[in-house]
Amino acid sequence: MGGHEALETRIAHLMRAVDDLSDVVAAQGREIDVLTRRVAMLMAREAEREADGEGAAPLADQRPPHW
């Protein structure tokens, strides 16, 4: 009987671990969604700023001052 109880205990611990991991994955998914929206907003804002610059080179294409 001891072996059966040990298996039930191990299964209970594994089920709790799976539930905990599921919660972590769900939280990470929500955080990724928020970060994705923020990055999209920042990219749109930067595109507007570059468009308002009347053809100025995007910051990524400009040489640093020391060159």
pLDDT digits 0-9 by tens, 52-63: 985 556 666 667
Supply the pTM of this predicted model: 0.61
4-50 confidence digits (pLDDT tens): 999 999 999 999 999 999 999 999 999 999 999 999 999 999 999 98
Task: Please check whether residue 58 is in contact with residue 50, taking contact to mean a CB–CB distance below 8 angstroms.
Answer: yes
Per-residue pLDDT at 8: 97
Secondary structure element (H or E) that encloses residue 25, with its range: helix 2-52
